[in-house]
Amino acid sequence: MDHELDVQGNVNRRSFLKCALASGAALGVGEFPASLAAAPLPGGAQKQDDAQFTVEAKFYQKLQNKKVKCKLCPRECTVGDRERGYCGVRENRGGTYYSLVHSRVCAAHVDPVEKKPLFHYLPGTVAFSLATAGCNVNCKFCQNWDISQSRPEQVPADFIPPRRVAELAKQYGCPTIAYTYSEPVVFSEFLMDAADAGHAAGIRSIVVSNGYMQQESLKAAYGKMDAVKIDLKSFTESYYKDVVTGQLKPVLDSLVTLRKMDKWTEIVYLVVPTLNDDDAGFQGLARWIKTNLGLDVPLHFTQFHPEYLLKNLPITPVPTLERAKAIADSEGLHYVYIGNVPGHPAQNTYCPKCHKMLVERVGFTASKNLIRKDSCPFCQHPIPGIWHT
């Protein structure tokens, strides 16, 4: 059963918000981007009043001659009057920088939290997941390029303000709001306001991000998050330059800062055949995590599927993922998972001391959670994470 929202966030048939709790299926934008691109706006219009989506940006510096310098991500775009930054969702209007995507929701679904993936955060629960258009990188393998590489006016969207986001999360039985699908860095103002509204209503916030941010914006925006999942695309600068159109070091700096902020953080490494699947890279990554973040940060090695600009490459062989896990295990990391391979035993959580299975997962569902009082019930070893509401 699908439910849809109008511009006030009320359920109707004219918009495209799809929440499938009644049928037991949680839908993600990546599963049907074409339908989003074709979805009508409320009232059948193809354009809405931009004013309701426009707020002054929080992270920028005013320059001479009505120019501004964006301070949100490491690009530090210098933007002239009536121009936009790289992400396409921030515009300089007369020397004042604006976000054009506040409350401008182009995708919203109810997903299992395991789909983010977050494996050590409220397993078995669902998250009210949303996105706006835009991204500050251009990954050649992007699953949701339809929205991430589009400007706001190119993608159908609904006006769903922060308080309504919180209300919808509660309405659909979601203990969390998840900012995901595109890149939440570029809608930081909306994310911050929605997190505040959620917390006021007893709803937590989680973010699925590339971590490509400046330190000030990271601390301010993700400081409001209850959990963070970072996509660490590779462990080489050349990959970030050629495949991601970004930089590695700012992402590593973000991970260290999140650790210092005591934010629950998990890392996903999408293993792309021939591009970032070498043993040296796996070992370097594992050693860096061990040294800088500790042994308990969950690391997910995820299977690549051909998308966007990398349709010429094959799906990641499962033995490659198993090799990556074995290398990370040998470096002493306690929680190394294999993702996008339903039914694989490495999707379960095991106690690092007695090796008993503690959380069993089938697809995106946590079918069993034996953890009690944040510990293994068999040997009482502490298991880091947030395990129960």
Token reading at 89: 């969702």
Euclidean distance between CA atoms 241 and 249, whole angstroms: 11
Ordered structural domains, the chain, with CATH: 1-231 (3.20.20)
Per-residue pLDDT at 4 exceeds 70? no
pLDDT grade, residue 44 (50/70/90)? very low
Per-residue pLDDT at 118 exceeds 50? yes
- Per-residue pLDDT at 100: 98
- Per-residue pLDDT at 368: 94
Other Cβ atoms less than 10 A from the Cβ of 286: the count is 24
Euclidean distance between CA atoms 321 and 256, whole angstroms: 25
Least confident residue range of 41-55, 142-156, 207-221? 41-55
**pTM as predicted:** 0.89
Token reading at 369: 């959670």
Of the two residues 271 and 9, the one the predictor is more confident about is 271
Task: Return the percentage of the chain with pLDDT > 70, whole number.
Answer: 87
362: left (phi over 0), alpha (psi -120 to 50) or beta: beta
Euclidean distance between CA atoms 258 and 208, whole angstroms: 13
The conformation of residue 116, written as its DSSP 8-state character, comes to T
Mean pLDDT, residues 59-71: 98
Mean pLDDT, residues 336-365: 96
Euclidean distance between CA atoms 184 and 130, whole angstroms: 9
Coil vs helix vs strand at 121? strand
- Per-residue pLDDT at 48: 54
Coil vs helix vs strand at 202? coil
Per-residue pLDDT at 42 exceeds 90? no
pLDDT grade, residue 33 (50/70/90)? very low
Task: Return the percentage of the chain with pLDDT > 90, whole number.
Answer: 86
- Mean pLDDT (the chain) is 89
Single out the residue of 384, 320, 323, 380 nearest to residue 356, CA to CA.
Answer: 380
- Per-residue pLDDT at 91: 98
- Per-residue pLDDT at 78: 98
Per-residue pLDDT at 322 exceeds 70? yes
Euclidean distance between CA atoms 7 and 182, whole angstroms: 21
Least confident residue range of 18-27, 110-119, 147-156, 353-362? 18-27
- Per-residue pLDDT at 255: 98
Per-residue pLDDT at 349 exceeds 90? yes
Task: Encode pLDDT of 261-275 as tens digits.
Answer: 999 999 999 999 999
Mean pLDDT, residues 195-218: 98
Mean pLDDT, residues 280-284: 97
Residue 349: which H helix or E strand, with range?
strand 349-350
The conformation of residue 259, written as its DSSP 8-state character, comes to H
Mean pLDDT, residues 123-136: 98
Task: Encode pLDDT of 72-96 as tens digits.
Answer: 999 999 999 999 999 999 999 999 9
- Per-residue pLDDT at 227: 98
- Per-residue pLDDT at 41: 33
Per-residue pLDDT at 111 exceeds 50? yes
- Per-residue pLDDT at 389: 82
